[in-house]
Amino acid sequence: MRGDNKASTAELVYGRTLRLPRDLFPGTQPAETEAVLQQLRATFRSLQPALFLYTGNLITRMFVPKTLNTCTHVFLRYDAIRRSLAPTYDGLFKVLRRGDKVFTTKMDDRETTVTTDRLKPAYTLPTEDSDSPHTTTTEASGTSHKHIRVSRPRLYHTQ
């Protein structure tokens, strides 16, 4: 409907409203309103809400790695806006204490409590100077710098 003349496009083109003939819909009978209403009520009664964890503005299903409960070191997800190609996870932090939903880690010579939603287990190799006999991870380097020299062909020759 157009607001200025209260007419649809079909009314402007053909001069009247369009109707589809019943012959275009073979075998259709008008549905009984009460039967359709009963079917809709039964369908909506059987619906169940899905179980999701609400975190901030997003509804997400939580994934917790199985090795998070046994690892000695973790990476911490940094949830602020970062520059492009900046790593998502910081550090290699030692786990001091574990809880159901929070871990206490050693960051910059101080203890920090962090939720498990922001942690990722770090897999390291055992070292000789480790204070734990069963260290299971080694620091995984997030970036490697490889210098490549690229030369472009000259398209125009100057004389």
Residue range 53-109, pLDDT digits in tens: 565 655 555 678 889 989 999 999 988 888 889 888 998 999 999 988 899 999 888
Does pTM top 0.75 for this prediction? no
How would you label 90-106 residue by residue, b for 16+ Cβ within 10 Å and e otherwise? ebbbebeeeeeeebebe
CA distance 1 to 117: 51
* pLDDT (0 to 100) of residue 148: 64
Class of domain 66-121: mainly beta
In the chain, what are the domain boundaries?
66-121
Segment 119-154, tens digit of pLDDT: 999 988 877 655 554 444 444 555 556 666 666 655
- Per-residue pLDDT tens digits for 18-68: 777 777 776 766 668 888 899 999 999 998 876 665 656 555 556 788 899
